[in-house]
Structure 1
Amino acid sequence: MTERPQMTVAGVTLDAPDAQELAAFYRRLLGWNVIQDEADWVSLGPPAGPTALSFQTEKAYVRPVWPAGPGDPQMSVHLDIRVEDLDEACAHAEKAGATRAGYQPQEDVRVYLDPAGHPFCLFL
């Protein structure tokens, strides 16, 4: 058996019609710092961590539908964000520019959509 090479997931990248706009939303939501800032690529990171959340402009971006029905563009990823106070976090997300999803599958989780339509979950 061959030894596995060292690998670390450094982050997640979300496509968007405008990387700058989506990164600005997540900066408001999470309070993370800009790590890299280019016209069509922005990376954010938490003050004390190596993880990055990046955004790239995709001119042919198609907004996902959640929950997706037959023939709808489906999400390829969603973010799970742990919070201490669900009501407070929901109010903050809405103030930052998120939209509460019409379908909420769990009582202790709130699903929101970012400005590009990517779902994210707030949970205790």
Structure 2
Amino acid sequence: MATTGKPQTRLTATVLDGPDPRALAAFYRDLLGWEITTDEPDWVKLDPPGGGPGLSFSEEPRFRRPVWPAADGEQQMMMHLDVEVTDLDEAEAYAVSLGARRAEFQPQDDTRVFFDPAGHPFCLWVRT
């Protein structure tokens, strides 16, 4: 089969694996205010209001929490989410109330690093 050029593509979601996709989806639904659009036993998808790529959550029974910052011999993070906020203190308090845990190491003044309930790192940041 001959290729005719680049096929049409569109990013539809970023997928986070974890032991409980419903619990993880509920955390990000509440954090971001997005809607659950697919809810299956091992797969949940959130979509943002107004469209655009969503977040999906897949069950992975062998999931290991990543360590951040990276450490030799430990599970390293493969990616993280950046969430822009208008007030870091308010956003931190809200994220923690939902079950996030603040990382000990904080590399920047305008960004705060957290772990979601499954242990995926994510950042709340404010534009300076």
Match of 1:116?
118
Superposed counterparts of 1:54-93, under 5 Å: 54-93=56-95
Q: 1:104 aligns with which of 96, 103, 106?
A: 106
State how far apart, in whole Å, the 2-side matches of 1:49 and 1:91 are: 27
Q: State the match for 1:12 in structure 2.
A: 14
SS at match of 1:70: coil
Cα offset, 1:88, TM superposition: 1.1
Q: Any stretches of 5+ residues in structure 1 without a counterpart?
A: none
- Match status 1:25 vs 2:43: no
| Percent of aligned pairs with the same amino acid | 56
Tell me the distance in 2 between the aligned counterparts of 1:60 and 1:8.
29
Q: Does 1:46 align with 2:48?
A: yes
Offset, 1:8? 1.1
Per the normalisation by structure 1, the TM-score is 0.95
Q: Cα deviation per residue 1:73-95 (whole Å; 9 max; x = unaligned)?
A: 00111000111111111111111
Shift of 1:3: 3.5
The unaligned stretches of length 5 or more in structure 2 are: none
After superposition, the CA RMSD in angstroms is 1.3
Which structure is larger by alpha-carbon Rg, 1 or 2? Answer: 2
Amino acid at match of 1:113: F
